[in-house]
Structure 1
Amino acid sequence: MNSAIKADVVVVGGGPAGITAAIAAGRLGAQTVLVERYGFVGGMSTAALVYPWMTFHTDSGEQVIKGIAQEIVDRLQANGGSPGHLRDTVGFVHTLTPYHPEIYQVVATDMLREAGVKLLLHSFVDEVMVSDGVIEHVVVTNKSGRTPIKGRIFVDCSGDADVAKLSGAETLQGREGDNRSQPMTMKFRMRGVDLHKVKAYMISHPEEFYSKTPFAELPDLPLTGVSGFYSQWKRAEVPINRDQVLFFAGPADDEVLINCTRVQGLDATNAEDLTLAEQEGRKQVLLMSEFLKRDVPGFERASISAVAPQIGIRESRRIKGYYQLSKEDVVEGRKFSDVIARSGYPIDIHDPSGKGVTASFIAGDGAYDIPYGCLLSANVPNLLAAGRCISTSHEALATTRLTPSCMATGQAAGTAAALAAAAGVKPQALDILQLQEQLKKDGVVL
């Protein structure tokens, strides 16, 4: 065992939530370590090609996610890595945010370095040491061997609640009743796509596309996303359990990201299941690309340009927290006194066993609050969660899992961890008004 690394705040998982958590903690003066298993940061946004980011806004166009998340978008724009927030031509949400994943990796690591964060790549947490119910340190395995990292506060941004599970924290998985999770998707890019031809077909065949597609605005909008081609999909009988074609334009002018493969009935926290999912996902990529080239207008000269390094995971484990966000909280647009983030993304459940997607939209002002209690482990007092593994129901997870929401909960968790470490208290004892004031000072919309 190598000598221990010491920190105030230890963040595990370098995805969007982990990046914002570590930046937030580092900027407040906390000695912060970020542990990431890949050789790059970005999580599902880079390792799984999850694209674009959806959404920073409500359905009416009010921006409810800002703070570090918006800083990242601003830095991407300044570096040619994003056009910023654009109208969603699928029509599911008001805006989406295209970005270049390779530029995002560099922007994020620059921001981490500027915040004084110690970044450990190629490092996997495989043990969590607990004493009297409190985490003392995590153990990472990497090319240097095994190294303990001691901390005061730990933030689980692994997506799969790995730290929580290893620490003995209570966790949940999947939907109530059968524990089934939303399907996994192997995403891939194609180049050589004629998006002008795609748009022309959409305008002349509106019945073939999602009912909320903004057809009246389409001639004047850049094409950002497409959901439909219903008859082509039905005739082709591709052996993938879904009911339509979904893809998003960019980053290049002739490039799209295909979100169509669907791997169901497997557990993303089980190594054998995950192995099967990777293999099945890559087979489906080839099936989808052949279908698109053969049957979909605009794809005649297209070819695969990239396949994600790993399959995309929508849902796995999540913590049991002080509060569990529910479907009713989301669709009723509920407000909480301990709000630490807001979101305008609707519930979007890809059926764990069927073909469809179930959507539930947000009432009122089009946004709901995420309370601080969703970030707090119910039984491990120095553990916070952010991103995909916060405390929610299966239904509510189908909105909080989206990247901008993950960025927002990450900033909140990192801020809370730094403030708690500085005050010498556990996160549960932190003054919520102090946390909220700091978040607002740092540009968060509450």
Structure 2
Amino acid sequence: MSTVSFFGRRIPIILDADCVVVGGGTGGAATAIAALEEGIKTLVIEKTISLGGTQTNALVSPMMPTYVKGQRVNHLIIERLHREQIETNDGTTTCSWFNVETLSYVLEQLIIERGGHILYDANYVDCIKDESRITHIIVNTCNGLAAIEGKTFVDASADAVLSRTAGVRVESGNQEGENQQISFRFEMGGIDITALREFILSQNETFCTINNPAFFEIAMVPGKGHVLESLFQKGLENGDLAEEDLRYFQAFTQPGKPSVMSFNCPHIPGINHTTDPVLRSKAVIKGREMIRRLANFLPKYVPGFNHAYLLKEATQLGIRESYRIVGQYVLTENDYVARARFDDGIARGDWYIDVHSVSKENIEEARLSRGEFYEIPYRSLITHEVSNMIVVGRHISSTFLMQASLRIQPTVRDMAQAAGFACSYSIKQNIDLNKIDGSHFKQRLASIRANF
């Protein structure tokens, strides 16, 4: 077996690929599918044993709504969910619904069927470079350290771990260095969705406007006039809840799970640095306490939850923002307002600037009208420092505020389509990823989008 030197040790090279994807989350899995459809040997390195990242391991469903027409990979995923009897369209909103177990399975199958490879339970450790090129990455496996050899590399790690170890400049947080709010999601089962829906709508709740009875959403934010606020206040007065439990509450039904809802809460208070491993651990402990309070409160106070129980907790924190690379172009909130267009615009976004702030700072929400969008340039996915790496996910090159728009899952999937194209083009044309003129992809991607 071939080996590579790593800090004086000979590390076995266990796999090689044309395209090595670090991270099997929303961006990584979609990039792999796109690259495989271009006919290049592709390997996904995933630290857990399921694909989907934040979508599946952090229980983040459904996908937030967008009026932008998705790319081919996005449609492949949705079509396969339908084949698995998972309805994704609620008939009212433009959300894409799923349940996490089915999505993880679908992503895995789409990769394996196309001849792709997945290395599960492999934690990224470091990379080996030859001048500006990454030649190998080092991962920690059940058998110890191992090396992966590649021609192109995709940083889909969400925390920019490949980029940072490769020497790429990064930024984090707002002007004060504070990151967005962490969530710790959970699911409850045994819910009588029909009774819950009837109760909510009987109180003239205007928040949920979904007409399809199979899809339902509840929420409570203090001062917003939500039906559930009075029940939460009673829970607080009776000592069943703490003040911090009332800050944000939201839950969605799960297609394919008739009595289950996924909760987009709690928001963990007081943790304003998501890049600190000690604070992340504290967030898990704090979040678990809050989950238990909510899971005990709901059956006592909310109709429809009478026989409900805690089904599972997320196996990954809901991190909205940590590191962002400083790439060849930094996308800003000014580009959002200007509905920016670029010669190398390879993806489109239209989600509002959605900042979940720890400090409750007042941030004016910029929103685009239906049909409006901004473009994400290819240059925001590539760096000056590393020639054969491309970045996909919430950590592409942008400002703190702009990241709060582009981080949603449909937008990340469309970035991934372009990244898969780019890795194939780089190999077949023998040109570095960070030297490619992204305008090569814009027309092709627009043509694909028009066919859906």
The verdict on a shared fold, with TM-score over 0.5 as the criterion, is yes
Letter in 2 for 1:387: G
Letter in 2 for 1:413: A
* Equivalent residues in 2 for 1:103-114, closer than 5 Å: 103-114=102-113
Letter in 1 for 2:432: K
Using the TM superposition, name which of 350-359 and 422-431 deviates more. 350-359
Give the aligned partner of residue 246 of structure 1. 250
What is the alpha-carbon distance in structure 1 between the residues aligned to residue 29 and residue 436 of structure 2?
A: 22
Q: Which runs of 5+ in 1 are unaligned?
A: 89-93
Give the aligned partner of residue 96 of structure 2. 97
User: Is the CA contact 1:230–1:245 (under 8 Å) kept in the aligned structure 2?
Assistant: no
Q: Helix, strand or coil for the counterpart of 1:84?
A: coil
1:369 aligned to which of 371, 375, 386? 375
1:182 aligned to which of 180, 183, 203? 180
Give the aligned partner of residue 8 of structure 2. none
Letter in 2 for 1:406: V
Letter in 1 for 2:194: H
Scaled by the length of structure 2, the TM-score of the pair is 0.88
* Equivalent residues in 2 for 1:30-429, closer than 5 Å: 30-55=40-65, 57-58=66-67, 63-80=68-85, 82-87=86-91, 94-176=93-175, 178-206=176-204, 210=207, 213-214=208-209, 222-228=214-220, 229-237=228-236, 238-240=242-244, 243-251=247-255, 252-263=257-268, 264-354=270-360, 359-363=365-369, 365-429=371-435
CA shift, 1:403, in A, is 1.3
Q: Helix, strand or coil for the counterpart of 1:86?
A: coil
Q: Helix, strand or coil for the counterpart of 1:324?
A: coil
CA shift, 1:167, in A, is 0.7
Change (3 A) 1:198 1:358: farther
User: Is the CA contact 2:389–2:434 (under 8 Å) kept in the aligned structure 1?
Assistant: no
Scaled by the length of structure 1, the TM-score of the pair is 0.89
Q: Which runs of 5+ in 2 are unaligned?
A: 1-10, 221-227, 237-241
What is the alpha-carbon distance in structure 2 between the residues aligned to residue 428 and residue 3 of structure 1?
A: 26
Change (3 A) 1:100 1:203: closer
Q: Helix, strand or coil for the counterpart of 1:396?
A: helix
User: Is the CA contact 1:242–1:356 (under 8 Å) kept in the aligned structure 2?
Assistant: no
Letter in 1 for 2:177: N
What does the per-residue CA deviation read over 1:236-291, in whole Å, with 9 as the maximum and x for residues that have no partner? 34332653421111232221111121124253333222211111111111111122
What is the alpha-carbon distance in structure 2 between the residues aligned to residue 434 and residue 4 of structure 1?
A: 34
CA shift, 1:34, in A, is 1.0
Letter in 2 for 1:395: L
Q: Helix, strand or coil for the counterpart of 1:138?
A: strand
Aligned length: 428
Using the TM superposition, name which of 435-444 and 136-145 deviates more. 435-444
What is the alpha-carbon distance in structure 1 between the residues aligned to residue 313 and residue 450 of structure 2?
A: 34
The answer to whether 1:24 aligns with 2:64 is: no
- The percentage of counterpart residues that share the same residue type is 27
Letter in 2 for 1:35: I
Letter in 1 for 2:203: H
What does the per-residue CA deviation read over 1:387-416, in whole Å, with 9 as the maximum and x for residues that have no partner? 111111111111221111111111211211
What is the alpha-carbon distance in structure 1 between the residues aligned to residue 212 and residue 429 of structure 2?
A: 53
Letter in 2 for 1:227: A
What is the alpha-carbon distance in structure 1 between the residues aligned to residue 124 and residue 343 of structure 2?
A: 34
Q: Helix, strand or coil for the counterpart of 1:7?
A: strand
CA shift, 1:303, in A, is 1.1
Q: Helix, strand or coil for the counterpart of 2:60?
A: coil
1:12 aligned to which of 5, 22, 32? 22
Letter in 1 for 2:15: I
What is the alpha-carbon distance in structure 1 between the residues aligned to residue 31 and residue 211 of structure 2?
A: 40
CA shift, 1:220, in A, is 5.8
What does the per-residue CA deviation read over 1:11-63, in whole Å, with 9 as the maximum and x for residues that have no partner? 100011101111111221222211101112111111111111122x32xxxx4
User: Is the CA contact 1:69–1:404 (under 8 Å) kept in the aligned structure 2?
Assistant: yes
Change (3 A) 1:70 1:131: same
Change (3 A) 1:324 1:355: closer
Letter in 2 for 1:226: I
What does the per-residue CA deviation read over 1:211-255, in whole Å, with 9 as the maximum and x for residues that have no partner? xx43xxx56654432223233334434332653421111232221
CA shift, 1:113, in A, is 1.4
Give the aligned partner of residue 91 of structure 1. none
Letter in 1 for 2:95: L
Using the TM superposition, name which of 398-407 and 429-438 deviates more. 429-438
Change (3 A) 1:324 1:234: farther
What is the alpha-carbon distance in structure 1 between the residues aligned to residue 211 and residue 40 of structure 2?
A: 50
What is the alpha-carbon distance in structure 1 between the residues aligned to residue 261 and residue 352 of structure 2?
A: 24
Letter in 2 for 1:101: V
User: Is the CA contact 2:38–2:420 (under 8 Å) kept in the aligned structure 1?
Assistant: no
